[in-house]
Structure 1
Amino acid sequence: MSGFSPDWLALREPADHAARNPQVLAAVGSTFAGRQSLSIIDLGCGTGSNLRGSYSALPVRQHWTLVDADSRLLSVARRKLAQWADEAQEQGEELVLRKGDKTLTVDFRQADLNKELEWVLGWQPDLVTAAALFDLSSVRWLERFVASLVSMRLPLYTVLTYDGRESWQPAHPDDQRMLAAFNHHQHTDKGFGPAAGPEATEALAQAFRKAGTAVTVGESPWQLGVDHADLVRELAAGIAAAVAETGHVAPAAIASWLEAKRSATSVSVGHQDLWARPV
């Protein structure tokens, strides 16, 4: 999967961090509270936002391997992380960061998770994590992924998986028709077969529970208002473009809806976080 621009990822990062479920993150942190160090693999890392959103809850020494299919995003991640840290030092291919009381060593790996999933998981981290990834994956791939995690007894912390819910203010007569068409588009192939879309978190949870793995799920909705005008505008444009590809809504109706969203005062977009760990 690729095609996400660094500009879009930068625009959504503050909203992503604000939406992250604090109880689920605290549960992850408490699991590793007795550890001095932790190794983490971040799947579909983009520009490193998930690391920046998770690191504070994890042990003082962290070794991250950031994995993405897009080499451009990996390059941006390296640069953004170096700028974000209090101190940054190149150490061969690794980046050594200091942020507050934490020391983070970061590797960057390009990999195709469709073809190389088991190879990546075979690096045997203490924790596997991802953000805004699994709604793009197929149910079949998710079941394969869970089976691999369970066989290796690897825990998973994933955040911001889209769950199909939206609420705009002020409301528009075509909101529900647009949402239905958008959610239909969310099920199209994103590189892993027909995507699970809004059902992804439930598919993950069911597969884990069937395997006897403990699962915690928490809400992590975007709550966007007038302070997020640029993100709201880009969100509406992205929804309109996706709906246009489905052919389910007439172009004139899409244009009318999109124009109305220029005066939107708020929007809530549903996401879910999940923490699964062997028992």
Structure 2
Amino acid sequence: MGFTPEWLALREPADQTARDPGLLARAAQAAGPKPVILDLGCGTGSTLRTLAPHLPEDARWHLVDNDPTLLDRASAEAPGRADLHRIDLRDLDALPLKGVTLVTASALLDLMPADWITRLADRLAAAGLPFYAALSYDGMMWWEPALPRDESIIRAFNDHQRGDKGLGPALGPDAAARATEIFAAAGFDVQDGPSPWRIGPGDVPLHRALIEGIAHAAAETGENMAADWGRHRAAMAGDSRCLIGHYDMLALPPGRS
């Protein structure tokens, strides 16, 4: 699937529908009356588009990504109110935290190792900043109707998600639970809630792209039936339903509950 503009555009409606509405509203409130949002791994600006309607019109943004193509797409989202930062997220000291009132990330924590999330929690605790992380994959998938190979493909995909994405072995499906523990240990008041994708017969393009990505990842782990499973599932996309588990988290520093 990758992080192409095409894939990000395809998944955005599912992301927006899936987000926990209570946590989204509380994140907007945590940003304060004069919000300055730092969005990590901003992509094409999906978090900005989702959160902006809940914020004052003069909210300012710092958009962080390492992909110049995605930053170019995001730059049009808040003309005059968004600063772009091409930053390698390995370097947390490079994050422009001055003046920021809320840090956000979407579909990011499951790509990161535990030590990165720990360093981020420590950095935000020292700065006294709240953190809103949405859409962390939690390892759960269900299809209706089911196929005999579903469980083995899910196991293989989850193993693949724990691979190194460039910063060390990723937490993958364990990220949602571990991030909650890490931020709580750093002194944050952590609230979380499920935000699953619910994909139905009307979502065939997204469903097929998702199946293709899952099958490809499973095949890379050595699952020799992944390609056949993918072809069968894709052919059924117009007549099947799927749930992909995600979790949202809002971590408030001490005194901000």
- Inter-CA distance 113–124: structure 2 relative to 1 (3 Å threshold): farther
Q: Percent identity?
A: 43
Which of residues 56, 59, 73 is equivalent to 1:59? Answer: 56
Q: What 5-or-longer segments of structure 2 have no aligned partner?
A: none
1:156-175 to structure 2, matched below 5 A, reads: 156-175=131-150
Q: 1:153 aligns with which of 106, 128, 146?
A: 128
Give, in angstroms, the shift of residue 72 of structure 1. 0.9
Distance in 2 separating the partners of 1:190 and 1:124: 30
Q: Distance in 1 between matches of 2:103 and 2:206?
A: 28
Between Structure 1 and Structure 2, the one with more strand by share is: 1
Give the whole-Å Cα distance in 2 for the aligned partners of 1:107 and 1:190.
26
- Answering whether residue 104 of structure 2 is matched by residue 139 of structure 1, we say no
Number of residues of Structure 1 aligned to a counterpart in Structure 2: 251
- Please say if 1:117 is aligned against 2:76: no
Find 2:72's aligned residue among 67, 72, 75.
Answer: 75
Tell me whether 48-57 or 172-181 shows the greater mean CA deviation: 48-57
Q: Deviations over 1:76-103 (max 9, x none)?
A: 2224x27xxxxxxxxxxxx23xxxxxxx
The answer (yes or no) to whether the contact 2:61–2:83 under 8 Å persists in 1 is yes
Shift of 1:32: 4.5
Bigger shift: residues 208-217 or 64-73: 208-217
Q: 1:187–1:195: 8 Å Cα contact kept in structure 2?
A: yes
Name the CA distance, whole Å, in 2 between partners of 1:32 and 1:143: 22
Question: Against the structure 1 CA distance between its residues 278 and 159, is the aligned structure 2 distance closer, same or farther, given a 3 Å change threshold?
Answer: same
Matched, 1:183 2:125: no
Which of 76, 81, 84 does residue 108 from structure 1 map onto? 84
Partner of 2:29: 30
TM-score, normalization by structure 1: 0.86
Under a length normalisation based on structure 2, what TM-score does the superposition of the two structures give?
0.93
**Is 1:263 equivalent to 2:236 in the alignment?**
yes
CA contact under 8 A between 2:111 and 2:165: conserved in structure 1?
Answer: yes
The answer for the alignment partner of 2:18 in structure 1 is 19
Give the aligned CA root-mean-square deviation in angstroms.
1.6
Q: Spell out the pairing of 1:195-210 with structure 2 (5 A cutoff).
A: 195-210=170-185
Residue of structure 2 equivalent to 1:101: none
